[in-house]
Chain A
């Protein structure tokens, strides 16, 4: 089955962020397909490469990056939600005249149309939120 995943909450604050990862991993390990993972609301913060969790804790951001690498996942961060919260890739930082970017490897910034498209293309869209 082809799944799309929507992540609405940020890392560490909410279980939703962990549950989305665990579900996505389980889907892939069972041999199903992930069409796209879309990060919205505070979920965009799952993509910050500046995240520094304590060493004995899970690294939520790197975990997504590694999973994306292993399965060639499409991790999309909503541009409107990201801009509000100071989440930028190199292009967005340049365009907005900011002196830094913070997007982790494996993620890309795009628009809300990508979420709707995921809803259309996937057999199931699963939303992880509060």
Chain B
């Protein structure tokens, strides 16, 4: 990354996670961007909306003996704070529609309603939608 231009620019990046953790690869590959992106010292937020809220649900069981046989990457969300990624937002309506509460989530988050979520998106410089 020594060919970087414009060092010192800090933008507001929002990673918008909309998809369930398994079934498609979007959630896993979104997380990979977040981890790599952390090296760039930007102002990063993560939002979980729609089925994306399942990404941070506790107790994923995806091991081979469960019949699914995929890597459980949900614990990675817990180490995000070590990467200084600390602003995690969950949309209230998405959570309620799926019968989830804050206690079902694997990481501490801030709950926002749809209007607040829209305002959060509007104030970003870059929205990466997955």
Contact of A41 among B4, B25, B40 (CB under 8 A): B25
Choose the segment among A17-25, A50-58, A117-125 that binds chain B (4+ C-beta atoms closer than 8 Å). A117-125
A112 and B126 form a contact (CB under 8 A): no
Contact of B32 among A112, A117, A129 (CB under 8 A): A112
B33 and A112 form a contact (CB under 8 A): yes
A113 and B9 form a contact (CB under 8 A): no
Contact with B along A91-130 (1 / 0, CB 8 A): 0000000000000000000011101110111000101010
A113 and B6 form a contact (CB under 8 A): no
Residue A40 interfacial (CB < 8 Å)? yes
Q: How large is the interface on B (under 10, 10 to 19, 20 to 34, 35 or more residues)?
A: 20 to 34
Residue A28 interfacial (CB < 8 Å)? no
- What DSSP secondary structure best describes chain B's contact surface? mixed
Residue A68 interfacial (CB < 8 Å)? no
Query: Total contacts A to B, CB within 8 angstroms?
Result: 57
CA distance A113 to B13 in the complex (A): 14
CA distance A116 to B125 in the complex (A): 12
Contact with A along B91-102 (1 / 0, CB 8 A): 000000000000
CA distance A117 to B125 in the complex (A): 13
A117 and B40 form a contact (CB under 8 A): yes
Q: Identify the closest chain B residue to A35 (Cβ).
A: B5
Known contacts A117-B4, A120-B6, A120-B9; 14 additional CB pairs below 8 A are: A8-B26, A8-B130, A40-B29, A81-B29, A111-B36, A112-B32, A116-B36, A116-B42, A117-B5, A119-B11, A119-B13, A120-B42, A125-B126, A127-B129
